[in-house]
């Protein structure tokens, strides 16, 4: 499973969004999130990120460990201001920018 880590926060370049063949990278407010149920592990997103924010769970830097949970939580729990979880919409372009982050990412401060 590929995950987007802390380096994306407040950068959100979105090159990865354009690259993903199944359109499973969703845009929040400060960062983007990979839907773990929709990602087919093709790895196309990994090399295009200018800040190298994307890695597999296994290769992720230890300090990025919380972002594994946040990538999943973005879809599995209702986001701030919403009553239903996003779930698996089946394509980021169809739903458009989500415009909100998980509470952890909302208050994230880089170390
Ligand atoms: Fe973020 Fe890199 Fe994608 S900065 S939006 S993970 S290209
Ligand atoms: Fe898309 Fe990257 Fe997964 S390109 S399918 S999010 S590995």
Give the SS3 label for residue 37. coil
Closest ligand 2 atom, CA of 34?
6
Environment class of residue 51 by beta-carbon count within 10 Å: exposed (0-12), middle (13-18) or buried (19+)? middle
| pLDDT mean over 54-77 | 96
What's residue 24's pLDDT?
A: 98
Q: What is the pLDDT of residues 25-58, one digit of tens each?
A: 999 999 999 999 999 999 999 999 999 999 999 9
Q: What is the reported pLDDT for 111?
A: 85
Architecture of domain 2-97: 2-Layer Sandwich (3.30)
Give the C-alpha separation, 12 to 16, whole Å: 9
State residue 36's pLDDT score.
97
* Ligand 2 center to 24 CA (angstroms): 7
- CA dist list (Å): 15 to 8, 12, 45, 48: 11, 9, 8, 6
Q: Which atom of ligand 2 is nearest to the CA of 19?
A: 4
Q: Is the pLDDT of residue 23 over 90?
A: yes
DSSP-based three-state secondary structure for 14:
coil
Predicted TM-score (pTM) of this structure: 0.97
- What was the ipTM of the complex prediction? 0.98
Three-class DSSP category at 4: strand
Q: Torsions phi, psi of 15, nearest 5?
A: -60, -35
Sketch the domain layout of the chain as residue ranges. 2-97
If you take atom 3 of ligand 2, which residue's CA is the nearest one? 39
């Amino acid at each position: 499973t590929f995950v987007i880590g802390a380096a994306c926060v407040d950068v959100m370049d979105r090159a990865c969004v354009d690259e993903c063949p199944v359109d499973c990278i969703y845009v929040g407010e400060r960062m983007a999130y990979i839907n773990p149920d929709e990602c087919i592990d093709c790895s196309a997103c990994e090399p295009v990120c200018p800040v190298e924010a994307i890695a597999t769970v296994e290769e992720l830097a230890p300090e990025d460990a919380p972002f594994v949970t946040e990538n999943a939580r973005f879809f599995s729990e209702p986001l701030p201001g919403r009553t239903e979880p996003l779930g698996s919409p089946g394509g980021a372009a169809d739903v458009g920018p989500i415009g909100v982050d998980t509470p952890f990412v909302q208050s994230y401060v880089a170390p």
